[in-house]
Amino acid sequence: MVAAFAERLKEVNPLYIAFDTLKTLQINLGNLCNLNCTHCHVSASARGTKVMGTGVMEKIARFLSRHQGLTLDITGGCPEMNPDFRFLIERTDGLAAPRIVRSNLAIMAEPGMEWLPEYCSRHGLTITASLPCYQEENVDRQRGKGVYAKSIAVLKELNSLGYGKTLELNLVYNPGGHYLPGSQEELQGAYKTELFSRHGIVFNNLFTITNAPVGRFRDYLEAQGSYERYMNLLAIRFNPAAAGGIMCRTLISVDWQGGIYNCDFNQAIGMHVARDDGSPMTIDDLDEAAMVGREIHLSQHCYCCTAGEGSSCAGALAL
């Protein structure tokens, strides 16, 4: 029997189950994606129908204008596929730093999307890009045939525009199955060596992110008969040193309709930040949701953020 995650967290420090200070506003532009990855916690695909519109984007911009100094973290699905992606970027110019776009890289090689690398560089966007391995076979197995070649071509173009040098380019590793990432420091060293020696590619940081047992990845685990085993692994590898750095203490997640959550994983399962009466909060309630001391909504999938070296959108928590 796996102990309740909230109780484990409270045992380490009672303050860890409460919101601290808002540092990052993460917005999910929807579940449209040109890929169909097995580990995707939002089950994104080309058939996605959840698409954030300009009304929600405008409210995000107004919130940022009132709260200077926040990080804007833009994710999906594939955020660049949102038809109003350019509206969001241009409306938030000067309102947040950094502004992070979480890209799958391959989208920038799709017909009609070739404008993306130069556009991102012109607006000074940080690119945090998924590349689950530096070997072609492993990437194509997880993300689809030909994705590795597209990703490498895009990385070379990004380097030519200054990414990895004067503009920030980060890569993301996630496991290809039901196991934890290895050492982030060691993986970063291997990625830098292999990508430079094979392709001349440079980047700033590698982030390791543990697969969350929700969405399509949970479906995969259950189909393999591995869900309970994976949950036990996450709980057994609970690391108290990672507990204080969990991202839900400093991040609020916004969905395509303006609903708000303590993280993107909670968003994937519909676990809203709620008012005292249980009704879901929206972007209009962001100031209240980000109050210091508000209790965080936690569940068993949260063990993925404290297992091993820990995991967050900025990588390991306990190096």
What pLDDT is attached to residue 127? 98
DSSP secondary structure, 236-262, as one string? HTB-HHHHTT-GGGTEEEE-TTSBEES
Q: Which uninterrupted H or E stretch holds 87?
A: helix 85-91
Arithmetic mean of pLDDT over the chain: 94
Letter for the amino acid at 81? M
Tokens 């999906």 label which residue? 76
Q: What is the DSSP letter of 211?
A: P
- Check residue 67 and give its pLDDT: 96
| 122, 156 contact by CB (below 8 A) | no
The single-letter code of the amino acid at 280 is P
Burial (CB < 10 A; 0-12, 13-18, 19+), residue 236, is exposed
Query: d(Cα 113, Cα 103) in Å, to the nearest integer?
Result: 13
DSSP string, 55-95: HHHHHHHHHHHHSTT-EEEEESSSGGGSTTHHHHHHHTTTT
pLDDT recorded at residue 1? 62
DSSP, collapsed to helix, strand or coil, labels residue 110 as coil
Cβ atoms of 167 and 159 within 8 Å: the answer is: no
Angle subtended at Cα 207 by Cα 186 and Cα 22, rounded to the nearest 5 degrees: 140
What's the CATH number where 290 sits?
3.20.20.70
Q: Which domain holds residue 23?
A: 5-316
- As a whole number of angstroms, the distance between CA 308 and CA 167 comes to 30
Q: What is the DSSP string of 245-305?
A: T-GGGTEEEE-TTSBEESSHHHHHTT-B-B-TTSPBPBGGGHHHHT-TTPBPP--GGGGGG
- CA-based end-to-end distance of the chain: 28
Low-confidence ranges of the chain (pLDDT < 50): none
The pLDDT of residue 39 is 67
Q: What domain count does the chain have?
A: 1
Identify the CA nearest to 75 among candidates 217, 243, 261.
261
Give me the residue label for tokens 């968003």.
267
Strand 99-103 and strand 126-130: the pairing is parallel
